[in-house]
Chains A and B, each alone.
Chain A
């Protein structure tokens, strides 16, 4: 397990990720730095859970309503992700859903998503993806999943000694051509963080990656640097994102960036092929490229993140 905390993505873990077609990632925050756990590797996960201060799960991009070849049944794969979470050796304290809950923002899709999520006993905090705000600026989404949020949709809460900040970076696509937070939200963030000491582990979750993975495909948040300026003084900052349906990680000083798998279907790697969008894989391989993420946070250490496929 020690080797896992220094090398969050073991070779075996990567292979597991490749095998699981669904997005789920279990985060364990140990010493302030999350790491992912391969959900299929239960012995490993159990070992990791020993001594963990606080564990939670990230799922993402469930795309309820998608029905094409890349995954004709995203309801089933979301359910499979929740089933996997339910079997984790150490039950997570809660879950985060980092957006694209639905595919087309239709009320019936939100209804279905709510029904499936109700089957999980874990409290879940949501933030919208661009697929959740089509045509109505998120009205349907926030009515169902944004009850604790500010008028702009963003919010924060404290749990397990960690300060969680949910940001909305999908409402200004038309103007910014990429993810963006906007000045109001950044001003709110500055204020929100003020009351917290630098030793408080911070977990920021938002849909679009908070660093420029591939701006040509919109895999970036334009004004993320302005938000980061307010986060720099903290000893442990973990950015959890979705949107790109694959695990990409980056460490920059005390800030760790992590995108998660989808629970529905994968997407191509940055720049591979003409455009992003659903990547078709043989049906019997789908669950090896979707998954969940577990995050473990322990005071004064980087959070550890374990990504596990649904295979």
Chain B
């Protein structure tokens, strides 16, 4: 609920910036700013694999009555990049992916819930 109010203005702002900042470093950075959503329904991430462009703000929307969290599980001993707190039923969590890579994540409360974000 909290995050929902913030998302629409963000999308509008991004649109405005895209129109204005056609060139230059600032423009490129902002042009990359996009958003995408992953639903959490019945203890599953949908889509299970999401591919986005660098700079995309990915929002997980928990539509269950059960809390979930979103925890990066890096391989090869890499440092963890993101770990949400508990996202209660009806709440959302947003993380912006600035670096390319394949990010596998789970809900650590229900660890059979697995998903992947691929950042190009």
Contact = CB atoms under 8 A, between A and B. Distances in A.
Chain A bound to chain B: yes
Interface of A: 68-70, 103-106, 130-131, 134-135, 173-174, 176-178, 216-218, 274-278
Which 6 A-B pairs rank lowest in CB-CB distance, beginning with the nearest?
A275-B43, A277-B66, A104-B86, A274-B42, A173-B111, A134-B86
B65 A130 contact: no
B65 A277 contact: yes
B73 to A, nearest CB: 7
Interface string B58-91: 0000001111010101000000000111101110
30 contacts: A68-B65, A68-B89, A69-B65, A70-B65, A103-B86, A103-B88, A104-B67, A104-B85, A104-B86, A104-B88, A106-B86, A130-B109, A134-B67, A134-B69, A134-B85, A134-B86, A135-B69, A135-B86, A173-B109, A174-B71, A174-B106, A176-B111, A178-B111, A218-B110, A274-B43, A275-B44, A276-B43, A277-B43, A277-B65, A277-B66
Nearest to A172: B111
Contact of A135 (B64, B65, B85, B110): B85
A131 B108 CA distance: 10
Contact of A218 (B73, B85, B112): B112
B89 to A, nearest CB: 6
Given A134-B69, A135-B86, A174-B71, 17 more contacts: A104-B67, A104-B88, A105-B86, A130-B109, A131-B67, A134-B109, A135-B83, A173-B109, A173-B111, A174-B73, A174-B106, A174-B108, A174-B111, A218-B111, A275-B66, A276-B66, A278-B65
B69 to A, nearest CB: 6
A68 B44 CA distance: 20
Contact of B111 (A106, A177, A275): A177
Contacts of B109: 130-131, 134, 173
A216 B113 CA distance: 11
A177 B67 CA distance: 17
A174 B112 CA distance: 9
A112 to B, nearest CB: 15
A277 B108 contact: no
Contacts of A106: 86
A60 B83 CA distance: 28
Contacts of B85: 104, 134-135
A274 B73 CA distance: 25
Nearest to A216: B112
B87 to A, nearest CB: 9
Interface string B98-120: 00000000101111100000000
Nearest to A134: B86
A274 B113 CA distance: 13
B112 A277 contact: no
Contacts of B83: 135
A103 B89 CA distance: 11
